[in-house]
Structure 1
Amino acid sequence: MSMHYRLRCLIVILWMSTASFYVFKYRYLDPTLKTRKGEIKEDMDIDQWMDNRKILYKERAKMVELACEKFKIRRGEITRGNFFGIGNNLNVRRNQDSRIENPDPSHFAVIRPHKSMACLINKVASTSLASHLLKLNGYEDLGPSPHSGLDRIAPKSADGLRYYNKTFYKFMFVRDPMSRLLSCFHDKIVMNPERNFWFRRHVLQTIRGKELPATKNVLRTTGNEVPSFEEFIQYILEDDIQDKFKSHWSPYWSYCTPCSIQYDMIGKLETNTADFKYLWKKFGWIEPVPVANSYKMSQETKNAYVSSLSREIILRIYKRYQIDYEMFEYDINAVLEVAKAAPLTDQELSESEY
């Protein structure tokens, strides 16, 4: 056994030990952090609650730092509009055995009155946040979609992004990667068949390898001409896909570049009640941020979609989003359990696509 191999094994063991400690501390040593979705306990004042949330956010930031070290993700130059990268990753390049992040100013929204900056990720309450952040900057006319106005509050240059990174409070939100993929599938494939006709047709042609008539009647009336969830997953896992919706499934770590941008707060959609409350209290926001669920699916429907996936496909999803799963503490085995498939082996857990 080579010294290099032994050293790699030691690094992995140390990383897993440190990660386990933080998870243990969060779950067992500090009961004040275990309130359901972060509600304030009757015997806890708001200052204590805010302090406890701050501890939690520091622990989430520590997990990000450990993942950056484990996967050797390094800071690169700030660039705008980069769509090169590894697989479906935006703003990431390989350099020998390292991954180089290239933060893109267009991915960020600056709230100058509150000296803060956010990275908004599609399908993670981004529409609600975009609307709220534009209003905080004094923009009331949001047009047909708040997303179209985000360029008004994005950093205007690489120097601007560097300045905000050093001086402003920075936050981002994530959610379980599979939950996000389900939301994207439901929005772009299941719902709004008229609006999404061409995207659905492109998915089918890419995966099934056959031409389809350029008429909406085909997809409107023929059930088997609508992409299945597995076909949608196969489509987004294609390495050479250059699609206008690509940001909807790009991994969190590559889109928001948390190894280059030091986030003070990482919120999760699963704890959005507490996380948004923390931001309201910290910045004195009067209006709450509503989390829209226009096309909310029942848990039964979600489970049915996940159960339709083979173990092989789920493993490919894990390999594509492994850094997200580890960096933000999500569990791929929970997905496999829903699919009634065997959990990942230690070897599968250690393998990465990148």
Structure 2
Amino acid sequence: MPKKENAVCFAIVIVTISMYTIHENHRTKRLSTSDVISLQPRYRERAARIREQCRLHGSEYNEDWISLRRYANLAIDDRPRLYISDKYKVMVCNVPKCGSTQWRKLLTYLENDSRKLTVTEYRKKFRDRLLWHAENGLDAAERKVNEYYRIMTVREPLERLVSAYKDKLVKVKQPVFVAMTKRIRSKNGNNTDGELTFSEFVDSILAAPDLNRVNKHWKPFTANCDPCLFDYDIIAKLETIDEDFPYIAAKLNIKALGAFSKDSDSLKKKWKSNYRDYYKALTRHQRLKIFELYKSQYDYFGYPYPDYL
């Protein structure tokens, strides 16, 4: 890949905007130079694994230039959701249920000098940070993709499904998910006003004709972010984010408070300790089939296969 410009210095100042808060009492740990050096093999191994999987699946990197030509005729919603900070030359692929809200907040605050924003301002500002909205034409977007420091975050694939189910389809309020719940339950001949079960949710994914075109909250990581094209500088994982984010901060000389700390609310959900129970309650056929659909994500990102199949 072409050599990027030297990382620039910047700081994240903690601000509060209504419900969009990065808490001051949550501290992002600082890494020493020796810590950074000791972690480098982790990220080299993650990158090497993805490259090997890409080769196995018939995708090869262009070592000289990332071309966006394949997206020329695709709608914005069908392209990877790449959020950027022009000031700091950073690009983060938005993977729902993988810390995406934290990343969008950080990039939005950075781009606006961390000034206090209303909720409405925040929502507009982070939409403006989407690469495809910020640039007029693929050529300008392509230049930034090749120049900026590229980050992608993932998590245990089947745990992410439970998170998406609980967040979007249990006690659902957003109209798009209300309609989705009614549609799934009506296909099963059930009361459309009832709560969607996890089993029904899984069956709806199994019935999808193309997993790469399902809702972005349970679309595979590879379909969301196309790592075989973008060759991300860092693959972070929620399971190790308390080290991965400080590593990124150290590499880019970021002084950060409250981002992705172990105390962050998003990392302390109680259901995470028993998410396997959702799968144990399924039939063995369902467990094997849903794992089969997402198996490639375990292979790409180095997660051990589940022990509850």
- Is the TM-score greater than 0.5? yes
**Partner of residue 289 from structure 2, selected from 316, 319, 322:** 316
In structure 1, the residue matched to 2:184 is: 203
In structure 2, the residue matched to 1:63 is: 49
Give distance in 2, aligned partners of 1:333 and 1:245. 23
Note the alpha carbon deviations across 1:173-232, whole angstroms, 9 max, x for none. Answer: 0000111000001111224458653332222123x04674xxxxxx3xxxxx32211110
Equivalences for 1:1-354 in 2 at 5 Å?
A: 46-73=32-59, 77-79=69-71, 82=74, 104=79, 107-138=81-112, 140=115, 141=117, 143=119, 149-155=125-131, 156=135, 157-192=137-172, 196-206=177-187, 208-209=188-189, 212=192, 219=193, 225-240=194-209, 246-283=215-252, 284-290=254-260, 291-293=264-266, 296-299=269-272, 301-336=274-309
Letter in 2 for 1:289: A
**Contact conserved, 1:116 with 1:168, CA < 8 A, in 2?**
yes
Give distance in 1, aligned partners of 2:241 and 2:230. 21
**Contact conserved, 1:170 with 1:264, CA < 8 A, in 2?**
yes
Unaligned stretches of 5+ in structure 2? Answer: 1-28, 62-67
**Contact conserved, 2:36 with 2:247, CA < 8 A, in 1?**
yes
Give distance in 2, aligned partners of 1:194 and 1:135. 26
Note the alpha carbon deviations across 1:271-330, whole angstroms, 9 max, x for none. Answer: 010011112222223333144429923345423212112222222222222221100011
Secondary structure of the 2:239 match is: helix
Give distance in 2, aligned partners of 1:226 and 1:77. 43
Letter in 1 for 2:126: L
Larger Rg: 1
Percent identity (aligned) = 23
Letter in 2 for 1:152: D
**Contact conserved, 2:298 with 2:304, CA < 8 A, in 1?**
yes
Secondary structure of the 1:267 match is: strand
Note the alpha carbon deviations across 1:220-252, whole angstroms, 9 max, x for none. Answer: xxxxx322111101112332489x981101110
Give distance in 1, aligned partners of 2:289 and 2:120. 36
Higher relative helix content: 1
Q: CA RMSD in A?
A: 3.3
Give distance in 1, aligned partners of 2:166 and 2:44. 34
Give distance in 1, aligned partners of 2:140 and 2:89. 13
Question: How many residues matched?
Answer: 265
Unaligned stretches of 5+ in structure 1? Answer: 1-38, 84-89, 92-103, 213-218, 220-224, 337-354
Stretches (4+) displaced over 6 A: none
**Shift of the alpha carbon at 1:80?**
6.4
Letter in 1 for 2:153: F
**Shift of the alpha carbon at 1:49?**
1.0
